[in-house]
Chain A
Amino acid sequence: MKKSLLVCILSGLFPLFASGQQLPVACIATDAVPASLAGTSIGRPCGASAAEFNAAAMAMSGYRLESGLSYGNWAPSSADNRMLGVHAAYRIAPKLSIGLFGKQLKDRKAVLLTNENGVVTEEFIPRDMMLGVSASYCILPNLSVGLSGRYASSSLAPDNSPRAFGVDITAVFRKDGLMAGIGAGTLPSMARAGLSYTIAGLTAAVEADYSFSGNFMGAGSLEYGFKDLVFVRAGYRFGSAPIPSHLSLGLGVRYAGISLNAAYLTASETLGNTLAFGVGYSF
């Protein structure tokens, strides 16, 4: 019955997936933790950012509350955007968690708008924004599912402000140190699958992403946490779109529930020198 219900839901959502928006903002991780892990999130715990990237993982979290605020400079050698993100996940019942998130990317420099003759008519600063709410439920002790609804809006020009709505479904299996997850959504329009194993503070994860526009990405990451106080992170993503290949590095500290994290992206023509900083609180 539950399996049939799951199939029906997926079938009904397929057309939605097929017509989904490939908004770049939806693919960008503003949180320093997933950013420093090359964006791997579907098959591994990802803290407060689970509200955005892996709703099902919220129910698997050992924390009642996980929240985070991030700020960074995205792709300074190309897009040069200022990014801001906020994530939060909260377990409201033993098997039920809810989450919400929001993020904004805004160009640091104004765009020169021109007419057909190349004459500058005015200047404008574009920005992108996304908001979302998530819910997660443990249907089995080792299995949880998650659902996320999201809204994206772009301000591209004085008379040009497109909007989009989307959903994202995820499922996560966890047993001992192994965690596996799958997910699909419309914003971004993508299917993801990932796997991670954690032992002695070291978590290794791999992920495969397929964009419904025809692009394939893969990523791998390592995170070592010393006594759950200091964290070192690294990852590598390969692919061309929506997120190009890059190397990610990160550091983090956590004490008394407060965490500070930093991420740095490099080895990318367009994303090089991306920096993100985050502060979180969990209990």
Chain B
Amino acid sequence: MYFFRFFCLAATFLALSGCARNVSEPEGSGDAGIETGTLPEPSPGALPGRVFVKFKKEQDKESLDAYAHIGHFRRMYPDAGIYEARHREAGLHLWYVVTFDESVPLTKAGMQVSELQDVDILEYDLPVKFHQSTVFPFNDPGLSRQWHYHNDGSIQGTIAGSDIRLLDAWLLETGKPDVIVAVHDGGIQYNHPDLEGNMWMNRAEAEGAPGVDDDKNGYVDDIYGYCFYSETVGGAIHPDNHGTHIAGTIAACNNNESGGAGIAGGNGTPDSGVRLMSVCTSGGDDTKGAYLQQGFVYAADNGAVLINCSWSIPEATSTPLFLKEAIDYFNRYAGLDDKGKQRGPMAGGVAFFAAGNENRDNKEYPAMDDNVVAVASIGANYHKAYYSSYGEWVDIAAPGGDVQQGHQVYSTITGGNYGNMQGTSMACPHVTGVAALAVSYFGGPGFTREQLIRLLTETTNPVIEEYNTSYAGQLGSGLVDASACLGVTLDAPASVQSLSGKSRSNYIDLEWIVPGASRADIPYSYDVYYSLSPLNDVAGNDVRKISVPGGKHAAGESMAVTLSNLELNKDYHIRILSRSMLDKVSAPSPEIVINTLDNKPPVVEALDGTSITLKAFQSGALRFKVSDPDGHPLTCSLEGATAGISHTFADGIVTVSFDALSLEDGKSYQLLLRVSDSHDSVDTPIGCQILKNHAPVAVKEMDNQVIQGIGESLTLDLSGYFSDEDAEPLTYSARNLGTQTVAACTIEGDRLHLKGSSYGNSSLEITAMDARKNKALLTFLILVRDGSREVEIYPNPVESTLYLRTGSGQNASLVLSNKSGAVLFRESSAAMGPFAPYAIDMRDYTAGSYYLKVNGVVYTVIKK
């Protein structure tokens, strides 16, 4: 018995275990999904947003559309044309790429895809690592840390390309010693092992006597530069980390197996690398000032053509004039000798200023001035550094480090050491360094500061705009690009071959196609020459020229410009020359001859007629639509205008306005509207008549008013009392003529509102006035009384005269008796009213109580 039960139990367990389902096997026809346990886990480096799937059979469009809720499916290998057959033989047509939102976890997406029908293989995309490392041209061990020169994205958090593209630029230029760059900052450690080889040296002072101004430049012992620190002007340079770091970025010695590299630090040979001049303006104590302005003049007079200024004047709202003039001096005279001739690689100097680290768009002077190049800072991921100031005044951006992202700028510091720093102070020398390369590469007779600035700002990498959309237009023209800067062609651009024109009056509308077989050939700008004589020589006396910027037009696009202020009915000879960024000009285009036409006079159309009649209080206007068939700009004048008559001209409409109040009534005015273009005028007579004004008059007397209590009110329509023949709206005012104010008086339009404020009576004067200040007056009496009493008897006690007053005019019977009943006064019909009280003379009555019966109602009167 027990064994039977055990057997049944065991059989039950076995049956249940045999009935286990493979839960990963979906129901339905056909193979579906990947077998349980074969769904791969994405590896740590798997790229988000896509998986690769191989189906067991080719998928039709209908099926793929049904999978749209998972992602977008496309064939990994699209139709290969003549090779499609072998693609299919290899099974390549079965591979699909599935893309989806990167926020969806790969495991989830993978699970969804794996559950589809006919899925054979599911794999994740993986990054690849190129085994070949970046080839640096120099052996400086720290160069690989200087992502700001070359960023391959290998450092976590960086984006490849967020750099100044220096390696390609070095293929062309590494810096020449005739380019002197002043570092206007803390002092440079001039004997730093990685800087001493590129320090500028004043030979005369170095070889002269200490304490003597050997070169007679006004400064003593200025061997590597000069100290302009206010507390110790002159004397030794005070090296500090800030100035030394900046100097290293610009021109640390390259290829010396030491430290890092400098942008224009040469290639390791003795005659390579620009030279650094230390314009020391700091003694290490930020609370002390310096003669900043003298540093600029010193640098210009001693051969520097570039000057790096990684500082600003705290909270300044403008640059002091003494400093502005010094910077202007540097801009104008750097690179020139005392005769004004170019002696250095560039005529004129360029000052580079850090934009500031306040993350704001104001109070960053002198960087905000137009006479300097302002540099903003980005990090290693193209994003604006969190601290960098910004604004439309910024000219260019450069890497300056971003410690919040973990990346700073690596360069020299004092003590012969190297260190990391961040700031627009570090971004600025990147641009100065690239400028030093550009001057080294392009510099020479005729190379100007304008060309340098153009080279820097017109060759920038605009990619940072995509990463800084909220700072659009506020990080300069883009990220400094050393390679593109040096890649600007030295050749003349392509010349224009397709110049054409059409005239309208004395305008000529020119049009041409942008020439150029390659990007380097596209002109930077165009010089349009035109003359009444044949243009065999564009430098002739009667030849006029206009310059047209090339803008961002690509080759083959159309450009246009209009020549104006030409003579009528003349043949103009026109040619156009292309100009490169470095002012290389092409051969002139073929000459075209365009004949200007006659002038068509302006057209004047009176929209409201040419005359107007106004009443003495009115204003009005006449409008004229004016146009010029030739498109000439028009001017308008109004002759005969006086005060009260004016005109405006906007959007092709001349409006002549008349204000009758400012004009004499009963008079007519004759005017002349003259509309002129540059050659002709059209006169239109205009008439204006102002009718005679009529003063307002009072048409009836105003009734005296009674207000039956304090707080009670009444309203009068004043329009019924005054009239104006001109139908002019009148303004009203009220004036209290009495000694007390018994009612509050307000006027709204032509309604007078009275509200009792105290008992008593007064008189009001109402004035009606027209726009020309003519008046009519009416007065009336106003009484505020206690409306609850039929008869007011006052004063009581009485000394002499007793008054009886009612709210409305009436007659009453009066009987006055004393206490003993003797009738002392009787009146059968005493007339009384609010403004004409009845008076009883009680002067001769003895003191005592009296009883006045008014229409049968007895009032007690006390006689004093």
Contact = CB atoms under 8 A, between A and B. Distances in A.
A and B co-occur in one complex: yes
A169 to B, nearest CB: 22
B220 to A, nearest CB: 101
Interface of A is mostly: loop
Nearest to A81: B819
Contacts of B747: none
Contact of A156 (B793, B824, B864): B864
Given A24-B819, A79-B817, A243-B822, A119 B851 contact: no
Contact of A117 (B759, B817, B860): B759
Contacts of B463: none
A126 B860 contact: yes
Contacts of B794: 114-119
Contact of A270 (B759, B789, B817): B817
Interface in A91-115: 105, 107, 109, 111-115
Interface in B767-792: 785-786, 789, 792
Nearest to B785: A118
B259 to A, nearest CB: 105
A111 B797 CA distance: 10
Contact of A160 (B760, B792, B797, B815): B797
Interface string A118-155: 11100010101000000000000000000000000010
B819 A79 contact: yes
Interface of B is mostly: strand
Residue of B792, B849, B863 ringed by the most chain A CB atoms within 10 A: B849
A24 to B, nearest CB: 3
A78 to B, nearest CB: 5
Given A118-B803, A154-B847, A156-B847, A105 B795 contact: no
B821 interface: yes
B817 to A, nearest CB: 5
Interface residues of B, number: 36
Contacts of B760: 117, 119
A119 B786 contact: yes
B818 interface: yes
A85 to B, nearest CB: 15
A116 B821 CA distance: 27
Given A116-B794, A160-B797, A160-B847, A111 B860 contact: yes
B847 A244 contact: no
Nearest to A24: B820
A271 B821 contact: yes
A109 B847 contact: no
A28 B786 contact: no
A160 B862 contact: yes
A243 B823 CA distance: 9
A240 B797 contact: no
A166 to B, nearest CB: 14
A121 B200 CA distance: 106
A78 B817 contact: yes
Contacts of A271: 821
B863 to A, nearest CB: 8
B846 A28 contact: no
A268 interface: yes
A202 interface: no
A21 to B, nearest CB: 8
Interface in B39-78: none
Contacts of A25: 819-820
B796 interface: yes
Nearest to B864: A160
Contacts of B759: 117-119
Interface string A11-54: 00000000001111101100000000000000000000000000
A270 B823 contact: yes
A246 to B, nearest CB: 8
Nearest to A126: B849
A268 B819 contact: no
A32 to B, nearest CB: 17
Interface residues of A, number: 46
A242 B822 contact: yes
Contact of A28 (B785, B819, B823, B863): B819
A269 interface: yes
A156 B822 contact: no
Nearest to A240: B822
Contacts of B383: none
Contacts of A246: 821
Nearest to A115: B795
B407 interface: no
Contact of A105 (B789, B797, B815, B819): B819
Nearest to B740: A117
Interface in B811-839: 815, 817-824
B8 interface: no
A246 B822 CA distance: 11
Given A79-B849, A119-B759, A160-B847, A269 B822 contact: no
A154 B786 CA distance: 30
Interface string A251-283: 000000000000000001111000000000000
A21 B819 CA distance: 14
A157 B797 contact: yes
A46 B858 CA distance: 34
Contacts of A160: 797, 847, 862, 864
Contacts of A201: none
A178 interface: no
Contacts of B789: 120
Contacts of A117: 759-761, 794
Contact of B821 (A21, A78, A113, A118): A78
B632 interface: no
A117 B756 CA distance: 14
B631 interface: no
A246 B820 CA distance: 12
B820 A28 contact: yes
A120 B823 contact: no
Nearest to B710: A119
A113 B849 contact: no
Given A116-B794, A117-B760, A157-B864, A268 B821 contact: yes
Contact of B846 (A22, A126, A128, A240): A22
B818 to A, nearest CB: 5
Nearest to A28: B820
A80 B793 CA distance: 19
A23 B850 CA distance: 12
A62 interface: no
A157 B821 contact: no
B93 interface: no
Interface string A158-191: 0010100000000000000000000000000000
24 contacts: A21-B846, A24-B819, A24-B848, A28-B819, A75-B819, A75-B821, A111-B860, A112-B793, A113-B796, A118-B785, A124-B862, A128-B819, A156-B863, A156-B864, A160-B862, A215-B822, A240-B822, A241-B822, A242-B818, A244-B822, A269-B817, A270-B815, A270-B822, A271-B821
Given A25-B819, A241-B818, A246-B821, 6 more contacts: A24-B819, A25-B820, A74-B819, A77-B858, A111-B861, A111-B862
Which 8 pairs across A and B sit closest by C-beta, in order of nearness?
A24-B820, A241-B822, A118-B792, A270-B821, A114-B794, A118-B794, A24-B819, A111-B860
Interface of A: 21-25, 27-28, 74-75, 77-81, 105, 107, 109, 111-120, 124, 126, 128, 154, 156-157, 160, 162, 215, 240-244, 246, 268-271
